[in-house]
Amino acid sequence: MRENNNFDKMNDGADGKDEGKETLLSEEKNSAAGAEKDCLDWLDEEIPVQSENGGQGRENSAKTAGRDKKRKRRENPDIRDGVRYNKKGEVAIFQPFTVKDIVFLAIIGAAALITSAVMPLVAQVPIFGLPQLVTGLQMSVFPTIGLMKVRKTGSVFIVSLLVSVLELFMAPAMGVTSLISAIIIEAINILTFKGYRKDIACFVSGMLINPMTLPFYYLYCMAFETDSIFFKAAGDSPWVAVGISVAVIAVCALGAGLGILISREIRKAGLMKK
Amino acid sequence: MTDTFHAKNPVYPLFGFFAALLIFAAGLATAKHTEGMWYLLGVWVWFLLFGYWRSCLVIIPFAAVFSGIFAGITYLSSHETAATLAAVSRSAAVCLAVLPGLSLPAVKLTRNLSGLHVPRSITLGMMIVLSFAPLLGREIKRIREAMRTRGAGSLLNPKVFYRALLVPFAARIVNISDTLSLSVETRGFCTGKAPYTVYHPVKCTARDVIFLLGLVAGSVAVIVFCFI
């Protein structure tokens, strides 16, 4: 059994008692360390299942880890140094995601979400596509930065999935349209660029994230909310709706370009490795 | 999800999610009817009875402002009282639908999904999004304070916006993610199929079932009453 010195201190407060729980200073609570601690307390609570050899302790963990790695390499000959190859020996389209990739994409999703917090302010203005226009820059810059670092098929879907978890609580229609458009963007990328190895693939996918939700949101309003202000706005002035849609694509293209420039700058500074 | 909204004993997380969808759907469907308003009031009281009193009280001013803005815009564009009342009902439905999610601590949702053997990469990602979204908001404020201190200029200037806000924020994101991923890997977390158990499993209780059944019954009743 893995030692866990925080066992005695752990109390999730489900029973309303905070006894024994390590109290955070107000400064620490507000800092990245505080958020990290909250997040990682959950990981500390998980108890690993005891291994077959009865838990030999940490001394043998390096040996078993080495043996496990060799066994995995024998069982999965197509994965070398974390990169999956197909039967022809080429780099496969679908690559496994590492913990680092998931963490980065999650933080990218959080950044896109928090910077799009202005959307509820304009959501009630009866102009079709205005919320997408207002959030277009943020929803293209950050996912493009994510794609430039994690160049794996499925990255856009993971970012959209994590963002739509919150959107499903607030606006289920938007959450579902985000997921559907992410799947379509991944399909477009697989068919045209076969992965995100090229910067142009990252640009195109980053550019399409927000505009792709427009037709699906229109279809949703047509099916379920025919008296919504968006549907009426699109019907009353279709050319305004078309103009706004073109503006959304332009803003998202600008955002995707900015994302590529920013990631190249950060890479030059040595902060981000490809 | 801020601590202000967190309930002391929230319902089973997945039930809260279904409740949000149900309230949203039923609220939108009955927005044009007077019974819809009574339904939303009943949902609010139901939440109050099940321990969400803090969230119920805190949501009132937000819902009032949100509904007021929505109603004002609708009245200005349509000049119809019925449409305005329907807009108020819709925005109130959205506010109430958000309540279960806002009141739920992120850890509890993650434990629930881990217990249901949802892929660990998804539970980890969700936990990070829910925990770090408020923190990144504070990081943006800090960057803006640094910009003011250095006299960088207005954010409306594209060069200042790019160089002084976007680039430092992106660099900060990369730093945070590198540190966090190291911490996660140090704790032995892996996305593979390694077996694990949850220290505090989230269990469904009779209270949670009664909560959901009550909401379902109320939603079905109001829809039947309005349309049949």
* Mutation to test the B interface, candidates A107, A122, A140, A155, most B Cβ within 10 Å: A107
Chain A 162-201, CB below 8 Å of chain B: which residues? 162-163, 165-166, 168-172
* Domain shared by B103 and B210, yes or no: yes
Both A183 and A222 in a single domain?
yes
In this structure, the answer to whether residues B25 and B88 fall within a common structural domain is yes
Alpha-carbon distances, residue B76 vs A46, A131, A169, A179, B80 (angstroms): 55, 19, 29, 34, 9
Residue A264 reports pLDDT greater than 80: yes
In a domain, A42, yes or no: no
- Residue A2 resides in a domain: no
Domain count, chain B: 2
- Inter-chain residue contact A32 with B176, CB threshold 8 Å: yes
Per-residue model confidence (pLDDT) at position A130:
83
Q: Look at residue A9 in the predicted model and tell me its pLDDT.
A: 40
- Amino acid identity of residue A248, one-letter, is V
Contacts of A188 (CB under 8 A, 6+ apart): A204, A205, A208
Q: Which of A77, A96, A115 is the last residue of a domain?
A: A96
* Residue B195 belongs to a domain: no
Q: Is residue B45 part of a domain?
A: yes
One domain, residues A129 and A68 = no
Q: Give the DSSP H/E element, type plus range, for residue B128.
A: helix B120-150
Residue B102 and residue B130 in one domain:
no
Strands (E), B100-210: 196-197
Residue A186, pLDDT score: 94
Mutate to test the interface with A, among B103, B128, B198, B200 (most CBs of A within 10 A): B128
**Same domain, yes or no: A210 and A122:** yes
* Same domain? A163 vs A239: yes
Q: What pLDDT digit, counting tens, does each position of A28-80 carry?
A: 445 566 666 666 666 555 544 444 444 444 445 666 666 666 666 555 556 66
CA–CA distances in Å: residue B126 to residues A103, A107, B149? 10, 10, 35
Q: Verify that B98 and B158 share a domain, yes or no.
A: no
Taking an 8 Å cut-off on Cβ atoms, the answer to whether B131 and A35 are in contact is: yes
Contact B132 A124 (CB under 8 A): no
User: A1 in a domain, yes or no?
Assistant: no
> Does B74 fall in a domain?
yes
Q: Is residue A53 part of a domain?
A: no
Query: Above 0.85 for ipTM, yes or no?
Result: no
Give the separation between CA B110 and CA A173, rounded to whole angstroms: 23
Output the six-digit token pair for B67.
């509904």
SS3 A91: strand
Domain annotation covers residue A47: no
Q: Is A108 on the interface with B (CB under 8 A)?
A: yes
Contact A166 B130 (CB under 8 A): yes
Task: Please answer whether residues B29 and A226 qualify as being in contact, where contact means their C-beta atoms are separated by less than 8 angstroms.
Answer: no
Q: Are residues A84 and A149 in the same domain?
A: no
Asked whether the beta carbons of A256 and A147 are under 8 A apart, the reply is no
Q: Is residue B165 a contact partner of residue B173, using CB atoms and an 8 Å limit?
A: no
Helix, strand, coil percentages (3-state) for chain A, rounded to 5, are 65, 5, 35
Q: In this predicted structure, what is the pLDDT of residue A69?
A: 65
- Smallest CA–CA distance, residue A117 to chain B, in Å, is 10
* Residue at A28 is within a domain: no
Residues B179 and B219 in one domain: no
Give the range among A10-19, A261-270, B182-191 with minimum mean pLDDT.
A10-19
Contact flag A272-B133 (C-beta cutoff 8 Å): no
Mean pLDDT by groups of 10 residues along chain B of 228 residues: 68 88 88 88 92 87 86 81 85 86 82 85 87 86 91 85 91 92 86 74 90 93 87
Q: Do B167 and A262 touch (CB under 8 A)?
A: yes
DSSP state of B222: H
Residues B32 and B90 in one domain: yes
Q: Are residues B45 and B100 in the same domain?
A: yes
pLDDT at A29: 47
Chain B environment of A102 (Cβ under 8 Å): 121, 124-125, 191
> Does residue B67 sit within a domain?
yes
Q: Are residues B102 and B211 in the same domain?
A: yes
Give percent above pLDDT 70 in chain A. 60
Q: Domain range spanning residue B82?
A: 3-107+204-227
Confidence class of residue A244 from pLDDT cuts 50, 70 and 90?
Answer: confident
Spell out a b/e string for A23-45, using b for 16 or more CB atoms within 10 Å of the CB, else e.
Answer: eeeeeeeeebebbbbbbbbbbbb
Same domain, B34 and B125: no
Q: Which of 225-244 (A) contact B at CB < 8 A?
A: 225, 227, 229
Question: Which domain range does residue A262 map to?
Answer: 99-268
Q: Which two structure tokens, joined as six digits, stand for A95?
A: 């690559």
Residues A175 and A233 in one domain: yes
Residue A48 covered by a domain: no
pTM of the predicted structure, to 2 decimals:
0.75
Please identify among residues 111-140 of chain A the ones whose CB lies closer than 8 Å to any CB of chain B: 111, 113-115, 117, 120, 124-126
> Is pLDDT at A18 greater than 50 in this prediction?
no
Q: Do B101 and B14 belong to one domain?
A: yes
- Using CB atoms and an 8 Å cut-off, which of residues 1-40 of chain A contact chain B? 2, 10, 12, 14, 16, 30, 32, 35-36, 38-40
Least confident piece of the model among A143-152, A161-170, B103-112 = A161-170
Q: Indicate if A217 and A234 belong to the same structural domain.
A: yes
B72 part of a folded domain: yes
Question: B179 with B218, same domain?
Answer: no
Same domain assignment for residues B84 and B157 = no
From the list A44, A162, A169, the residue facing B129 with the nearest CB is A162
Q: Same structural domain for residues A69 and A169?
A: no
Q: Is residue A103 located within the same domain as residue A144?
A: yes
Residues A77 and A207 placed together within one structural domain of the fold: no
- Residue at B115 is within a domain: no
What's the structural domain count of chain A? 2
Residues 6 or more apart whose CB falls under 8 angstroms from that of B71 comprise B84, B85, B87, B88, B91
Element (H, E) at A84: strand A83-84
Question: Residue A110 and residue B17: Cβ atoms within 8 Å?
Answer: no
Same domain, A148 and A220: yes
Say what the pLDDT of residue A142 is.
Answer: 94
Residue B178's pLDDT is what? 92
Residue A193 lies in a domain: yes
Residue B173 within a domain:
yes
CA nearest neighbour of A155 among B125, B117, B173? B125
Same domain, A70 and A180: no
